[in-house]
């Protein structure tokens, strides 16, 4: 990466794990998952997602707090493994899902890979691009699949908006805006404001979703990043709200706005040369949303209601299908590396006050 206020050479794109042999994978109709780092996210979203999945089953977990692990095992009827090593080594587990705090992703992913287990890791993949590259090298050596849990790629809202762009409904995309607001003052994730455990504030936590959503919907890669962020007494050493500007190789430009001090809202808007797509709360799974296709002064040309409630279970089944050689997973870690580079560039820009060229 380079700063706009200083000359330098950009990084090449990592080729990733495309074409990886699946000969080491256990092929079965139902993939049995173990969650490494079971916590709030697993309880709130993943337990139900596994129940709704058709080809993915939650078969066990490991949690650092033994008392909470015992309570979770009793509540959900799951096997609680005594150590992370035991979970990853178990013949009753086919794949590992890593949901630990950001700073622990590297050690947890590498542990699973050493045991030859495919891994689906929560976003952001790691604390730095260098850590992601280390993960990718280990996955390549182990010849197993490593994916990132960018569940929003399996949302109906994003897939429909991408289809409309592919169909030429708005012409060539010119401008985009992605926004996520939520009240983070009462977050049950005690580690989320600790820079030793979290990649940052909302940029690393939910901004990564906005980065990925824009890259996916626009089918374009980021060429330059600028970022501003501010913290407060609650956020401590990480940002509480932030704004990012992205330039894409396609010529499109985008803004990402984030805050952890507001009521929930998520919005995605794409302006093209002949039309506009707008979806209020495009990134929610809690209720149906409407995508509007606007055409100049003529107003709404088309309106479609979609529901993202199966996004998590669709993601899990897609990863299982990839392990079984039935389809390609939409968010391999090689693609997650590109998100990580944008994320790192955003924090570099926030610190330096300069735009960063990728």
Q: What's the confidence (pLDDT) of residue 8?
A: 35
Helix (H) or strand (E) holding 322: helix 311-323
Helix (H) or strand (E) holding 194: none
Q: What's the confidence (pLDDT) of residue 9?
A: 29
CA distances from 84 to 46, 62, 173, 210 (A): 19, 6, 45, 31
Strand partners for 119: 96, 146
Q: What's the confidence (pLDDT) of residue 4?
A: 53
pTM for this one?
0.91
* Cα radius of gyration rounded to whole Å, the chain: 20
Q: What's the confidence (pLDDT) of residue 14?
A: 26
Q: What's the confidence (pLDDT) of residue 336?
A: 97
Helix (H) or strand (E) holding 268: strand 261-272
CB 226 within 8 A of CB 349: yes
Cβ burial of 324 (10 Å; 0-12, 13-18, 19+) is middle
Q: What's the confidence (pLDDT) of residue 193?
A: 84
Question: Considering only CA atoms, which of 222, 232, 239 is closest in space to residue 345?
Answer: 222
Q: How far apart are CA 341 and CA 281, in angstroms?
A: 26
Q: What's the confidence (pLDDT) of residue 189?
A: 82
Give me the residue spans of the domains in the chain.
Answer: 15-151+313-327, 156-307+343-357
Q: What's the confidence (pLDDT) of residue 5?
A: 55
Question: Is the fold of 15-151+313-327 the same as that of 156-307+343-357?
Answer: no
Tell me which fold the domain 156-307+343-357 belongs to.
Answer: Dihydrodipicolinate Reductase; domain 2 (3.30.360)
Strand partners for 173: 272
pLDDT in tens, the chain (358 residues): 766 554 332 222 223 333 343 334 444 579 999 999 999 999 999 999 999 999 999 999 999 999 999 999 999 999 999 999 999 999 999 999 999 999 999 999 999 999 999 999 999 999 999 999 999 999 999 999 999 999 999 999 999 999 999 999 999 999 999 999 999 888 888 788 899 999 999 999 999 999 999 999 999 999 999 999 999 988 889 999 999 999 999 999 999 999 999 999 999 999 999 999 999 999 999 999 999 999 877 789 999 999 999 999 999 999 999 999 999 999 999 999 999 999 999 999 999 999 999 9
Tell me which fold the domain 15-151+313-327 belongs to.
Answer: Rossmann fold (3.40.50)
Please state whether 200 falls in left (phi above 0), alpha (psi between -120 and 50) or beta. Answer: left
């Amino acid at each position: 990466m380079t700063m706009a206020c200083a000359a330098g050479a950009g990084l090449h794109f990592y080729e990733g794990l495309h074409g990886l042999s699946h000969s080491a994978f256990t092929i079965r109709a139902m993939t049995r998952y173990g969650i490494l780092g079971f916590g709030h996210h697993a309880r709130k979203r993943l337990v139900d997602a596994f129940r709704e999945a058709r080809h993915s089953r939650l078969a066990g977990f490991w949690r650092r707090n033994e008392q909470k692990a015992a309570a979770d095992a009793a509540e959900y009827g799951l096997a609680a493994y005594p150590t992370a090593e035991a979970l990853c080594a178990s013949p009753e587990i086919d794949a590992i899902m890593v949901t630990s705090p950001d700073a622990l992703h590297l050690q947890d992913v590498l542990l699973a890979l050493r045991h030859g287990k495919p891994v689906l890791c929560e976003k952001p993949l790691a604390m730095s691009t260098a850590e992601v590259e280390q993960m990718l090298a280990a996955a390549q050596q182990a010849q197993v699949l490593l994916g990132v849990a960018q569940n929003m790629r399996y949302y109906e809202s994003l897939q429909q908006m991408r289809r409309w762009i592919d169909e030429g409904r708005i012409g060539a995309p010119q401008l985009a805006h992605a926004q996520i607001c939520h009240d983070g003052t009462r977050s049950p994730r005690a580690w989320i404001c600790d820079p030793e455990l979290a990649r940052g504030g909302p940029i690393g936590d939910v901004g990564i979703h906005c980065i990925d959503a824009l890259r996916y919907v626009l089918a374009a890669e980021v060429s330059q990043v600028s970022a501003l962020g501010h913290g407060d007494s609650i956020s401590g050493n990480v940002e509480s709200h932030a704004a990012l500007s992205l330039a894409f190789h396609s010529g499109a430009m985008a803004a990402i706005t984030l805050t952890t001090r507001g009521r929930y809202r998520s919005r995605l808007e794409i302006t093209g040369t002949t039309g506009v797509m707008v979806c209020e709360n495009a990134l929610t799974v809690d209720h149906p949303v409407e995508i509007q296709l606007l055409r100049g002064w003529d107003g709404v040309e088309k309106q479609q209601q979609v529901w993202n409630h199966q996004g998590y279970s669709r993601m899990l089944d897609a990863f299982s299908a990839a392990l079984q050689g039935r389809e390609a997973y939409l968010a391999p870690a090689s693609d997650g590396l590109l998100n990580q580079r944008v994320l790192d560039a955003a924090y570099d820009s926030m610190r330096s006050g300069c735009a960063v060229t990728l």
